[in-house]
Structure 1
Amino acid sequence: MCAMAVVVALAATACGGGGGTGTDAVAAGRGAAGFPVKVADCQGAETTFTSAPRKIVTSNGSALEMLLRLGVGDRVIGTGFPPGKGTLTGKLDAAAQKVPVLGKSVIAKEKLLGSGADLYIDTFSSMRNMGAAGSGPTEEEFKAAGIKHVPLASTACASMAKKPQTDLSGVEGDITRLGAVTGTPGRAREIVAGMRAKVAAVHRAVGKVPEGKKPRYFLFDFDAGTKQPMAVCGKQVANAVITQAGARNIFAGCDGDFRPVSWEDVVAKDPEWIQLGVRNRGDAAATEKAYDQAEAFLKSFPATKGLRAVRDGKFLRIGSQRTTIAGVGNADAVEQIARTIHPAAFKAGR
């Protein structure tokens, strides 16, 4: 047992726009075995791990993917919001499809508490648009069931952040914390380094684009419904993805993470690019059909068919999970968005 506990504080690292990722804090206290590890929740309450958990349940596919990339997928005994087939690539997808599904959406409280897990990784605790997520177990119920409860700070704590997310430090901090908790800090550092390298390459290409030249960008969450659009605000991780890609989120100024807005609000901001945010359907053809439906709606709906992006056909087909939920895919989304909206910057190897 190391003499000093690793303290991984969410408040200092989770949702800031330009601070550190928490990596340094983890490294500073690590002993030979890496334990004990203390992790703070969104309110600052600490949970101590004296050893790595052996039976983990994840609230959704993004948390599951993090564990698979950390090499501890064999410890995952169940998940909610399972990733659709083909959402992940290669061996990751095959491994994800083998994980028992405890809930096609939010895991029922009774099933979660009776799962036998010793750790629950929670992506949704403060995400108001997840509906049933707010009826999950209390901290007392988690404790009584012997389950330690760890949130992904960049999403679960986002609405409580003091400032917007404008970089991926919150996501990197989540990966670093999970690496510390699962006893895989070295692998976590490798994953974070890979994300940083990808984003750095984007910065080299588009970093000198003046703020006024960055296109206005709207993430249209088609699956949230078409009657009233759901905006991703400044504290949502999607704002960081959009910002890092060299675009301007048209709803960056609204407080919080998500907020229902009106189509009049969208029209007033007249986006130059629109991302068709569609969740993976588990079938390539079905997912593509959903993208087609989202595009067709914008082209036919009276309020949106005159938007600049719609008139010019400037749509991006990027899954909403890779943009609005924390994960390694956030860095991939940064690159894909940047290459689409700034093609000239990437020509000739730039």
Structure 2
Amino acid sequence: MRSRVWGGTTAVVLGALLVAGCGGGAKEDAADDSPGTAGSGGYPVTVTDCAGARTTFAKAAERIVTSNAAGLELLLRLGARDRVIGTGFPPGKGTLPGALDAQARKVTVLSRSVIPKEKLLGSGADLYLDTFAAMGGMGGGGMGDTPREDEFKAAGIKHIYLKSTACAARSRKPVTDLTGVESDSTTLGAVTGTGARAKELVAGMRKTVDAVQKAIGDAARSARPTYFFFDYDAGTKQPTVVCDRQVANAVITLAGARNAFADCAGDYRQVGWEDFIAKNPDWIQLGVRDRGSAAANQKAFDEAEQWLKANPATKGLKAVKAGHFLRIGSERTTIAGVENADTVREIARTLYPAKVG
């Protein structure tokens, strides 16, 4: 089985790592604009986690460590590169677009996977941006040997989460929009003093998605094409599917399609090939993670497509027979971030070429 790759390194499926406590969905957890909260534009500023625990910043964070590429990318997009002193799970070369990739290469890699507890606590950070950690009881227990909250406090490190990722699997309802990503942008803008840039990012995402929604209209959900995200890099022995709490479900839904596995509650799940075949989707996205070059990516997409065409169990599916494949990178589909909005547009352009330009 191929290992799940996240930005060039092995990553663990988030859903298996979360414990009870992340009760609210993205809209419920988004910071508001009342005095002293993330949207207010001044200090002190207070943000909340999935369970409602509050963290107050008397001034902008100056030395930030991120748990993985998702948090790092958002900080780079906010223009906060000079505040990032280290990361775990670094993005693979070429994963991020243009100048962001060059900036990411300059960030100190504290670990190719989970940052060891001692290294994290001794990093000199004043903020740890966590994509993985559990929320229940706020006592650590996310990925690997995560420090306890009292250990973070003793080291002078504030500990906050990307709610669009860390909270999603425990949401009480399906993820069907990008408000979680918008909330993370607003929160990080507040704690890094880049609130104006955060507003620009959110406005850009909304403009892109709203244009798609207007173009495809209000077609009945039952009339929309079914769509399967084929996670080729997770292995072909047993398919891994994205369920209704994963951000990919929102991307697919906003693009005017129906996630073939929206009926499973959670983020990821392994199913049998017979389950996939029974869905017989109209479209299949070839889920390939960035290999570092256009040629290498093309080769991986070719391999994924050929596997579906050659496998006796899948070659008769209507999407395979019709050649209804989308070659869109996995990261921008399954990792919560600004590019999710661009992926919505790209999928919609393929499914509705006469409507979406």
The TM-score bracket by the shorter chain reads 0.7 to 0.9
Counting only pairs closer than 5 Å after superposition, residues 155-304 of structure 1 correspond to structure 2 as: 155-304=165-314
SS at match of 1:63: helix
Distance 1:278 1:250 in 2: 18
Equivalent residue pairs, number: 331
Give yes or no for contact 2:133–2:142 (8 Å, CA) kept in 1.
Answer: no
- SS of the residue 1:220 aligns to: strand
In structure 2, relative to structure 1, the CA distance for the partners of 1:132 and 1:263 (3 Å cut) is: farther
Structure 2 runs not aligned, ≥5 long: 1-20, 136-140
Maintained 8 Å contact 1:222/1:276: yes
Considering fraction of residues, name the structure with more helix: 1
What is the aligned partner in structure 1 of residue 33 from structure 2? 26
SS state of the match for residue 189, structure 2?
A: helix
CA contact (8 A) 1:238 1:324 kept: yes
Deviates more, 1:181-190 or 1:25-34: 25-34
Normalising by structure 2, report the TM-score.
0.86
Task: Letter of the 1:26 partner, please give it.
Answer: D
* Local SS of the residue matching 1:38: strand
Residue from 91, 111, 115 that aligns with 2:119: 111
Partner of 1:312: 322
Which one is further off, 220-229 or 150-159?
220-229
**In the superposition, relative to structure 1, how do residues 88 and 103 fare at CA in structure 2: closer, same or farther (>3 Å)?**
same
Please say if 1:139 is aligned against 2:149. yes
SS in 1 for 2:47: strand
Which is further off, 337-346 or 110-119? 110-119
Which residue of the partner structure matches residue 15 of structure 1?
25
| C-alpha displacement of 1:36 | 1.4
- Whether contact under 8 Å (1:86, 1:284) holds in the other structure is no
Gaps of 5+ in 1: 1-9
Native 8 Å contact 2:114 2:144 kept in 1: no
Separation in 2 of the partners of 1:308 and 1:199?
A: 28
- Mapped to 2, the partners of 1:32 and 1:312 lie a distance apart of 51
Q: Which residue of 2 aligns with 1:52?
A: 60
- Cα gap change, 1:307 to 1:68, in 2 (>3 Å): same
How far apart, CA to CA, are the structure 1 residues paired with 2:283 and 2:101?
Answer: 30
Residues 100, 250 of structure 1: alpha-carbon distance in 2 compared, 3 angstrom cutoff: same
Residues 263-287 of structure 1: per-residue CA shift (max 9 Å, x gap):
1111111111111111112232222
Please provide the CA RMSD for this pair. 2.4
Structure 2: distance between partners of 1:116 and 1:168: 33
Deviations 1:3-34 (A, max 9, x none): xxxxxxx989x734xx48836x1365469861
The percent identity for this pair of structures is 63
Q: In the alignment, what sits opposite 1:42?
A: 50
Aligned residue number for residue 122 of structure 1: 130
Q: CA–CA distance in 2 between the matches of 1:144 and 1:306?
A: 60
d(CA) in 2 for partners of 1:217 and 1:126?
A: 31
What residue in structure 1 maps to residue 85 of structure 2? 77
Counterpart-to-counterpart distance in 1, 2:269 and 2:224: 23
Q: Deviations over 1:52-72 (max 9, x none)?
A: 111111122221111111111
